[in-house]
Amino acid sequence: MTLRLRPTPPSPQRLARRQALVTNAAVVQSASIASVATADVGELQEVIAAQAETIATINERLDNADIP
């Protein structure tokens, strides 16, 4: 017999945090679509690096936020 535990549902604050992560990442990606469409390989690499840095900053700020 296997005992299965149900995971504790995430708090409303944690759900809001997850939504903020998704929203912020989408905004960052949307902002660079035009430059990606017309960019050469070097420009694409710069855009991708900038997106990764921005998303990392957003994640760090959310991780440091006072959310239970």
Give the pair of three-digit tokens for residue 51. Answer: 């997106």
Position 56 in a domain: yes
Q: Could you tell me the residue range of the domain that residue 41 belongs to?
A: 12-64
Total structural domains within the chain: 1
59 lies in some domain: yes
Torsion region of 3: left, alpha or beta (phi above 0 gives left; psi -120 to 50 gives alpha): beta
Is it the case that residue 57 has pLDDT exceeding 70? Answer: yes
- Those residues with Cβ within 8 angstroms of residue 20's Cβ, 6 or more apart along the chain or in another chain: 58, 62
3-state secondary structure of 2: coil
The answer to whether residue 55 is domain-embedded is: yes
Based on the number of CB atoms within 10 Å of its own CB, is 8 exposed (0-12), middle (13-18) or buried (19 or more)?
exposed
Question: Is residue 5 in some structural domain?
Answer: no
The model's pLDDT over 14-41, given as tens digits with 9 standing for 90+, comes to 888 878 877 777 777 776 665 666 667 7
